[in-house]
């Protein structure tokens, strides 16, 4: 049984921290490319997916790994992203 004192912490912050401690993932990270999260969430400028700092590259840091593959490896135009709901 886990006992804790929330004090001034908001319940959703506590749940997010507990989730990270147990899974190594940030609550809300939409990446399917890694099992451990790092840093904070950011939004891919191409598809709108919310991912953590594990995503991104040096040459196109504003897009996620999936969009990077689409643009750099598959040659798809920047505008052809599928919007994430």
pLDDT tens, 13-36?
677 787 778 888 888 899 989 888
> Does 54 fall in a domain?
yes
CA 58/CA 65 separation, integer angstroms: 11
Residue 1 confidence (pLDDT) above 60: no
Dump pLDDT digits (tens) for 35-57: 888 899 999 999 999 999 999 88
> Does 4 fall in a domain?
no
Domain holding 27, by residue range, is 11-80
Q: What's the structural domain count of the chain?
A: 1
> Does 28 fall in a domain?
yes
End-to-end C-alpha distance for the chain, whole angstroms: 37
Q: Sign (positive/negative) of CA torsion 66, 81, 84, 53?
A: positive
> Does 6 fall in a domain?
no
Contact (CB, 8 A) for 57 and 66: no
> Does 62 fall in a domain?
yes
Mean pLDDT for the stretch of residues 59-73: 93
């Amino acid at each position: 049984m886990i006992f804790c004192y929330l004090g001034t912490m908001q319940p959703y912050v506590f749940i997010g921290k507990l989730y990270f401690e147990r899974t190594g993932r940030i609550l809300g990270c939409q990446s399917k490319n890694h099992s451990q999260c790092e840093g904070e969430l950011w939004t891919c400028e191409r598809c709108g997916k919310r991912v953590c700092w594990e995503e991104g590259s040096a040459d196109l840091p504003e897009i996620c790994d999936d969009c990077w593959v689409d643009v750099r490896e598959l040659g798809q135009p920047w505008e052809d992203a599928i919007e994430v709901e």
